[in-house]
Structure 1
Amino acid sequence: MNPLDPLPRLRLPPWRCNSVIAFHKSTKFAELGPRFFSSNSVGLGVGASSLPVLAPPAVGRWLLVSSALVFAVIVVGGVTRLTESGLSITEWRPVTGVLPPRTAEDWNAEFDKYKSTPEFKLMNHSISLDEFKNIFYMEWGHRILGRLIGITFIAPLAYFALRKKLSPSMPAKLSGMAILIGFQGVLGWYMVKSGLEDSIMDTPGAVPRVSQYRLAAHLGTALVLYGGMLATGLAVIQDWRYARSGAWGGSKTVSWESVLSNPVIRSFTRKSRTLTALVFLTALSGAFVAGLDAGLLYNEFPLMGGRIVPPMDELFSAAYAKAADRSDIWWRNIFENPTAVQFDHRLLAMTTYMSTCLLYLHSRRNAVRSLLPPAARRSITAAFLMANVQVILGLATLLYLVPVPVAAAHQAGSVALLSTMISTLVALRRPSMAAQLWRKAKASMPQTSH
């Protein structure tokens, strides 16, 4: 009798079954172990091996929590800008700045520093100490949340790296994210400095606010960091599910090889990537709108001053050109003229909305719907719904002269829409090589019962 046969056929008493199972592992599984199973393969019931490490779900959950914190800091940063609180703290102290002023003397000292800024002299010269505390705490909370993100990312990263819980490609990728977090702190202070420069006082008609270029760079970096964390976290969880159960794209019956090799799905994936880039670009253009207070112009829709397109002398005013030959009139108007900035944001927003609707309708076609995995169908549907919500929030922000709660919700909506598109792309992603090897190893294991 072959000891490797399924146990029910052996018809042995329980105490003998245990010995047969042990022998079974020591022969057949011992041959598979060194080649197929890694040290974190506890769930597979085998020993350590040279298989590539497959990151466990805990790594994915940690990255999703980190991305949620970045989502929160983006929203808080938007509120900080909308409430004009960002220039209330005039120094960057990464360590000692963790604690806010505690005594009356500390508060007065901080207030005196603010009184020397162009913002106080030109706009807030009549605010009280209590009013200063309100804007101070808003900016302080934004900075503290940024520090919290650094701690909650770096410490677990070191733990998972030391415990060898990261897939081969992850250490470099996650280290890049850690560097990006630190860079965000430096970039944030670089942005704030632009609104504290004394030269603002010497510029006729100048408004004390941060550079729209630096604001866009700060937001864009945060969106890249958020997208990287979210996509990597979702991919880790998806890979684990595939390795364990063969589930891909939200279904155990879908073959990723046949789906991703289909020309229809390849075309759909390319369109999804293009739309994701468009969503990102539209969100980035919103930073220029916020940086120039362009949302306070032309508070009507779809017209601007009674016209679909404002007069050309407003869109491309020679007043914004700084070169002697006016060769910079085009790009300076695009990025520095509030009228052009608002028009561009409208154009991008409507293009994004129509593209999302078209991609959703395309996904509903039988030829596409029958091939898309369930997770991708759910994600593109969520993108369509979020795009409609985002349009409503954008219109409300414009028509009601940028109320803080609605404008903050509009910025959060842009990140939510980006999230749905990232989720769509992850759902159409092939399993990692480590996950494929794990899946093959598990599929090759004989199924025993006892």
Structure 2
Amino acid sequence: MKSLIETTDPNKRAIGIWLLFVAFSVFAMVVVGGATRLTESGLSMVNWNPVTGAIPPITQEEWMEEFNDYRTSPEYKIKNAGMSLEEFKGIFYWEWGHRLLGRLIGVFFLVPFLYFLWRKKVPEGLTPRLFGLFILGGLQGGLGWYMVKSGLVNEPNVSHFRLTAHLSLALIIFSALLWTALSLVRESYETVSDRFRKLTIFTLFILSLQIILGGFVAGLKAGYIMNTWPLMEGQFVPDVLFAMDPWWSNLVSNAVTLQFNHRMGAYLLFVLAGLIWYMARSESRAVQSAANMLFAVIILQIIIGVIMLLMHIPVSWGTFHQGGGVVVIGALLNLIHKTRGQG
């Protein structure tokens, strides 16, 4: 942390550290969200009470009321009929914890923000950006409920489009928090070649597509099929990639195609990170260090993904993989920020 915090301006330092903490909280939120999804707990709370929902049921009567509401849902009727109250508590607490963390992040952001405004410590021009981040956080909560609602109608599965939107917005918020924090605490920047800079931006574009693919894969549970590597059930290119009609629907709704594309995206990111690492050898030591970190976390993320796939997506490895995706984003943004300057 000491080497990351370069500024001597006390206001920038305080606000930067605060935003780094909030970004880490969003990272934790994404990890808990992954565990909630993998434990199939996300549909356990069929009501959305933004304020009163912060307190879980306490008495037996309150628990039975919550459980009876759940028993009217498609998930209970189709998948969990006969579930006991104690089993229900097991999935309820994951979703409740996920929502509670979201509320806490709102508090972690709003209270210091108001304090910094009151004390006139916010640097000129930064207030609109911080206000926009708070609005995005509120929208994320609403989008989360919009996602959950899709699994409370007929089928006990949320829309993979809504899940991907929910995940993507969380990562956009994380990225904006991290970028803003780095712009406050960092004072030294590196000059790099135009080719190097363009390569990092292109890699960010591919990583964004890979994250969207990952959301689709998670939403359609595409990781639970074709659990072999490097081939997909004996084929490098499965013959059912374009089994759906029209052809473009395979790109967003065919589980096999999505898993295949997600694999190809990982390979492409490995190549791009390798090129960045190679080109960084002619750049400054600071750029080399950031490039080394990026290459290392992408390799680790691919290894985790392969292990997770071969083990048929256990909760632990699946959660680890989702968190690893956020780490990759952070490593790439750090490199881009280091070589593009403040803003």
Contact in 1 for aligned 2:280/2:287 (Cα 8 Å): no
Query: How far does residue 193 in structure 1 lie from its aligned partner after superposition?
Result: 0.2
Q: Is the 8 A contact 2:32 2:98 kept in 1?
A: yes
- Match of 2:265, as an amino acid? L
Task: Indicate the SS of the match to 1:412.
Answer: helix
Which of residues 164, 174, 180 is equivalent to 1:216? 164
Give the drift of 1:377.
Answer: 2.1
Match of 2:327 among 390, 400, 416: 416
Matched, 1:128 2:56: no
**Distance (Å, rounded) in 2 between the aligned partners of 1:170 and 1:289:** 37
Task: Write the distance in 2 (CA, Å) between the matches of 1:270 and 1:162.
Answer: 41
Alignment of 1:5-16 (within 5 A): none
Structure 1 counterpart of 2:302: 391
The alpha-carbon deviation at position 55 of structure 1 amounts to: 4.5
Instruction: Tell me the alpha carbon deviations over residues 367-414 of structure 1, each in whole angstroms, 9 at most, x when there is no partner.
Output: x22xx3x43322111111101111110001111100110111111111
What's the counterpart of residue 11 of structure 1?
none
- TM superposition score normalised by structure 2: 0.94
The residue that corresponds to 2:121 in the other structure is: 165
Q: Is the 8 A contact 2:277 2:295 kept in 1?
A: yes
Which of 223, 227, 235 matches 2:183?
Answer: 235
Aligned: 1:75 with 2:37? no
Q: Which residue of 2 aligns with 1:281?
A: 209
Return the alpha-carbon distance in structure 2 between the equivalents of residues 378 and 161 of structure 1: 36
Deviation by residue 1:113-170 (Cα, 9 ceiling, x = unmatched): 1111111111111321111001000000000000001111011112212322222231
Please show how residues 34-433 of structure 1 align to structure 2 within 5 Å: 55-198=11-154, 200=155, 208-238=156-186, 242=187, 248-249=188-189, 259=191, 265-311=193-239, 314-318=240-244, 321=245, 329-364=246-281, 368-369=282-283, 372=284, 374-431=285-342
Rg larger for: 1
| Rounded Cα–Cα distance in structure 2 between residues aligned with 1:67 and 1:277 | 21
The alpha-carbon deviation at position 269 of structure 1 amounts to 1.5
Give a deviation string over 1:284-311, Cα, whole Å, max 9, x none. 2111111111001111112112111011
CA distance in 2, matches of 1:268, 1:160: 38
Distance, in Å, in 2 between the alignment partners of 1:281 and 1:107 is 42
- Count of residue pairs brought into register by the alignment: 336
Contact 2:163 2:215 in 1 (8 A): yes
Amino acid at match of 1:229: L
Identity score, percent: 41
Counterpart-to-counterpart distance in 2, 1:103 and 1:387: 47
CA 265–165 in structure 1, closer or farther in 2 if over 3 Å, else same = farther
TM-score, length of structure 1 as denominator length: 0.72
Provide the residue aligned with 2:4 in structure 1.
none
Aligned-residue RMSD, C-alpha: 1.5
Is the 8 Å Cα contact of residues 195 and 210 (structure 1) preserved in structure 2? yes
SS of the residue corresponding to residue 313 of structure 2 reads coil
Q: Provide the C-alpha distance between the structure 2 equivalents of 1:305 and 1:429, rounded to a whole number of angstroms.
A: 44
Is the CA contact (8 Å cut-off) linking 2:301 and 2:321 kept in structure 1? yes
For structure 2, which runs of at least 5 residues remain unmatched after alignment? 1-7
Structure 2 residue identity aligned to 1:82: L
Shift of 1:283: 2.0
Give structure 1 regions of 4+ aligned residues with deviation exceeding 4 angstroms: none
Could you give the per-residue CA deviations for residues 392-450 of structure 1, whole angstroms, max 9, x where no partner exists? 10001111100110111111111101100111112113346xxxxxxxxxxxxxxxxxx
- Larger RCO (CA within 8 A; separation ≥ 6): 2
* Unaligned ranges ≥5, structure 1: 1-42, 45-53, 201-207, 243-247, 250-255, 322-328, 433-450
Conservation of the 8 A alpha-carbon contact between 1:78 and 1:411: yes
In the alignment, is the contact (CA less than 8 A) between 1:64 and 1:230 conserved in 2?
Answer: yes
> What SS does structure 2 have at the residue aligned with 1:127?
coil
Q: Within 2, Cα distance between the matches of 1:430 and 1:169?
A: 17
Do the aligned partners of 1:55 and 1:236 also contact (CA within 8 Å) in 2? Answer: no
Contact 1:376 1:423 (C-alpha < 8 Å) held by counterparts: no
Q: Which letter does structure 1 place at the counterpart of 2:19?
A: L
CA distance in 2, matches of 1:422, 1:220: 16
Alignment match, 1:324: none
